[in-house]
Amino acid sequence: MRDFQDDDATSAGHIYLQQQRQNLHYLRLIEHEMPQLVAFRKPFNPPTSEAPLSVRSISYGGEEHPATVKRVITVPVSRLPLKDRHAVHKCRLLAGVRWTPYPPKDSGLKESEGGADGYIKIACEDFPEPAMNLKWASDTLDRLVAEANNDQDRRFNDVPVDRRHLEAKHMKAGQGKLKRDMAGGAGRYLSPPSIRDFPKSWLPKPPRRVQPQALSTSPASP
């Protein structure tokens, strides 16, 4: 190679030219290729009861990242094909910490969208492909619904819904202890219970004290 004769752009200049070429490439795509996508346009139809799932994915603009394969599905319990109220209660028990009385903030759902019985959120990022993670989450939800509709076992009728994960979350956020009804309705935040909250009517009654007889102080007779 011949010696450098100071007749070429610097490294910074080549980087700038490369950026300009990339911008020109995308401008040409917008001008010539984007209008052809009109042929693939479809009207938006709101999801029906047959497709109650909300699927969330993460993208970093084409960059590789471990979180891009993750898939998260969220569904209102009231929109699942459950038989009766026993199946609804059993479904919430089986969901465990994946059940919440309110929609998750990153789900895109609102409380007015059929969430009277709460919401179930299932996430998966164990497989290398996004479709595999979505398939596992969908199959898990199907097994959950099938087990909830199983009428052979009704031992869970009297088991309350576990809300310790909700209370721990709100206590960690410094909002106190969450107190709500079992149906997931409106509630309020309270401080953790103490000994002062113990009902006094449950305390045993103290034994009745016998009054001692008064001693005579008169002088004894001779």
Return the CATH number at 83. Answer: 3.30.160
Backbone φ/ψ region at 212: left (φ over 0), alpha (ψ -120 to 50), beta:
beta
144 inside domain: yes
Model pLDDT, residue 70? 93
Confidence (pLDDT) at 73: 93
Which of the residues in the chain have pLDDT under 70?
A: 4, 46-50, 112-114, 153-154, 170, 173-194, 211-222
Q: pLDDT at position 215, please? A: 55
Please state the domain count of the chain: 1
192 assigned to some structural domain: no
| Assigned token pair, 77 | 């319990």
Residue 14 lies in a domain: no
- pLDDT at residue 21, rounded to an integer: 95
Calculated CA dihedral for residues 59, 64, 70, 76, nearest 10 degrees: 0
Domain that holds residue 97: 54-163
Please indicate, yes or no, if residue 40 is contained in any of the structural domains.
Answer: no
Looking at the domain assignment, is residue 59 inside a domain? yes
Q: What is the pTM of this model?
A: 0.58
Domain assignment present for residue 152? The answer is yes
The verdict on residue 157 lying in a domain is: yes
pLDDT given for residue 102 in this prediction: 86
d(CA 156, CA 145): 15
What is the reported pLDDT for 185? Answer: 47
- Per-residue confidence (pLDDT) for residue 183, from 0 to 100: 44
Q: What DSSP state is assigned to residue 33? A: I
Show the tokens assigned to 65.
Answer: 């990242």
Q: φ and ψ at 53, to 5 degrees?
A: -80, 145
Torsion sign (Cα): 182, 184, 188, 194: positive
Q: What is the pLDDT of residue 9?
A: 80
Can you list the alpha helix ranges (DSSP code H) found in the chain? Answer: 11-28, 85-95, 130-148, 164-172
